[in-house]
Amino acid sequence: MMLKTSLCRIVNLLIIAAFLCGMFTSCAKKTDDGTGYLFTCTLSGNPECLDPQYTENQNAQIVMEAILEGLLRLDETGSILLAGAESYQVSENGLLYEFKLRNDCKWVSADTEEKNAKPVTSLDYVFAFQRLLSPETHAPHAEEFLCIKNASAVLNGQVKPQKLGVSAPDGATVIFELEYPETDFLYLLTQTCAAPCNQDFFLSTNGRYGLDDKTILCNGAFCLSKWAYDNYGSGNFLTFRKNKFYHDADSVSPSNLQFTIMRSQKEADEDFAQGNSDAILTNTYPAKYINSKNYTVKNSCTKTIGLIFNPDNKILRNQTFRQALAYGIHRDAYAAQLSGNLQPASGLIPPAVQLLGRPYRELYADEPLSLPYSPEQAVQCFAEALASVPANEINNLKILLPDSFSDTQTILSVCQEWQDLSGHYIGIETVSYKEYEARLEAGEYAMALYSFETPRNSCYASLQAFLSNAEKFGIAANNADMLLAALSGEASPSDKVALYGQTEKAILENLCFLPLFYQNLYLIYRSENTDIFPKPFTHSIDFRKAKHFK
């Protein structure tokens, strides 16, 4: 059986190679300046759907960043650049954004001829945002755009999407009217969910938009050529060619891309280790690559991980008991145990997020935000909180962990410290990620390890991402909502440094979330390649400038 599986994989790889060399001229067009190369990448799973307004699949994000482009985009440094727009203006009160479109942006598919390439118009953006905020779409990022006029009413089904504050006075102008100033609005427009959508093509797909290579149009640097996926087979892949109709095609270095589809991050890591691709994104600590001259490793710390508590649990609802747990977390002690992709955390905003051109955590240190390790205080709080609680109820407490979490020993060390201080055992329960998610949603846990990621390089977005689910964990964030409102207003960037810190503190003072770790995301690629850049906040890779010199 193993021999048969291996032969099938070899045959599939030969088919892919034949397809690529037959279809792509890149196999023979590699140049001395590093351009014209076919770059390969390993994905941890099938993208499933390439509808930018609907999907939140991380593998889909890598694909959509390559084939779609909105009014604005981010470069490799995180700076905002013009993309589908050639210019924009913002009103003095921050409530009106007017964008002028480029006249050379086209909709294309793999077999589009120049005469059939249709222009991207302002109506494509209007339709995209109406879809994004329509309750029928169930768009995962819709609530990030509630700043748009009538967005809340549209999303709640109170008014039709046509009433949304996005309009097209002519084919080359898009106007956004906002309910209130949103400091991150330009960043929001760089996300793939803000990419345009051609209404006629969307309707022609009969509900299958973005589900295969025949039901997607491209307007980005690359065009999707082939999407081969068999849920029960191997050798699954996506292929792309450089979009010759792209408005900035001269700056795109690769001739083609190929993404191999694996079934898990572990399989993807193994596939890359076997030399089958040029680049990979992974949360796994890259010990064998990090000091190797044959590889380049770039890391970004974008995720915050901590403990949450079931608000219906009588013991954990007791704030003094949660105080005892917080005082009993010895971050300095467990720091040495952590694998390289984790570091101790005391705050909410992860280190990769910047403000004023610097990492925010350099401007506002996180150590004062959480209660300090204090065995004496922990013992006192445990004694007070547990005076009237039956011992068997305490010993039944467990921390729910997904089996994908690799630093279980660190959690056990925290539990051991609590046992030493309280005299009671708190254990762990490790389950599959699917069961973990289901039990979180159903509230079937006492304590759980919980992680969240900021969707973009923004302190505000990071806090907003956390608070969007805070009510599930019993967090009444004191005046955090009021502070967030102030942060979205007219405060100067320097004033916002302190405001962000006050907001973090207001949230953490509830002791309903105890920060433990910040987690890295790694981009790894072979050293004969250059100019491949991670986009850590969207879990994607920017290949447009990538070059190969071997």
Express each pLDDT in 350-371 by its tens digit.
999 988 878 999 999 999 999 9
Amino acid 466: pLDDT: 86
Percent pLDDT > 70 in the chain is 91
Q: H or E stretch including 499?
A: helix 493-508
Residue 18 has pLDDT above 50, yes or no: no
pLDDT for residue 25: 38
Phi-psi region of 236 (alpha: psi -120 to 50; beta: other; left: phi over 0): beta
- Give tens-digit pLDDT for 129-162: 999 999 999 998 898 899 999 999 999 999 999 9
Least Cα distance to 109 among 220, 18, 252 occurs for 220
Residue for token pair 């810190």: 501
pLDDT of residue 27: 44
Q: pLDDT tens digits for 279-338?
A: 999 988 898 999 899 999 999 999 999 999 998 898 998 999 999 999 999 999 998 888
- Using alpha carbons, select from 395, 405, 426 the residue that is nearest to residue 329: 426
Residue 194: which of 130, 240, 149 has the closest Cα?
130
* Residue 242, token pair as written in the block: 């450089």
CA angle 519, 520, 526 (to 5 degrees): 160
For the chain, list the domains and their CATH numbers.
19-68+220-294+527-550 (3.40.190.10), 69-205 (3.90.76.10), 301-521 (3.10.105.10)
pTM recorded for the entire structure: 0.81
What rounded mean pLDDT belongs to the chain?
Answer: 88
Q: In DSSP terms, which residues pair with 466 in a beta bridge?
A: none
Residue 3 pLDDT > 90: no
Residue 475, pLDDT > 80, answer no
- pLDDT of 8 reads 43
Q: What percent of the chain has pLDDT over 90?
A: 67
Q: What is the mean pLDDT of residues 68-95?
A: 93
CA nearest to 201, candidates 133, 256, 128: 128
499, 491 contact by CB (below 8 A) = yes
pLDDT band at 537 (very low <50, low <70, confident <90, very high): confident
Query: pLDDT value at position 11?
Result: 40
Tens digit of each residue's pLDDT (9 = 90 or more) over 172-218:
999 999 999 887 899 899 999 999 999 999 999 999 999 999 999 99
* Average pLDDT over every residue of 466-489: 67
Higher-confidence position of 56 and 25: 56
pLDDT in tens, 247-275: 999 999 999 999 999 998 889 999 999 99
DSSP 402-464: ETT-S-HHHHHHHHHHHHHHHS---EEEEE-HHHHHHHHHHT--SEEEEEEE-SSS-HHHHHH
Nearest to 178 by CA among 190, 188, 192, 191: 188
Task: Count the helices and strands in the chain (H runs, E runs).
Answer: 17, 25
542 pLDDT more than 80: yes
Distance CA 487, CA 342 (A): 29
Mean pLDDT across 426-450: 94
* Number of other CB atoms surrounding residue 460 within 10 Å: 23
Task: Check residues 112 and 23 and name the one with the higher pLDDT.
Answer: 112
Cα(178)–Cα(129) distance, rounded to whole angstroms? 13
pLDDT of residue 480: 62
Helix ranges, 83-194 (H): 122-133, 151-155, 185-188
Q: Six-digit token pair at 437?
A: 């998610």
Kindly state the DSSP code that residue 139 receives in the 8-state scheme: -
Q: Look at residue 284 in the predicted model and tell me its pLDDT.
A: 85
Using alpha carbons, list the distances in angstroms from residue 107 to 191, 200, 223, 246. 18, 12, 10, 9
**Which runs of consecutive H residues, i.e. helices, occur in 328-404?**
331-335, 360-363, 375-386, 391-395
Q: What is the pLDDT of residue 7?
A: 39
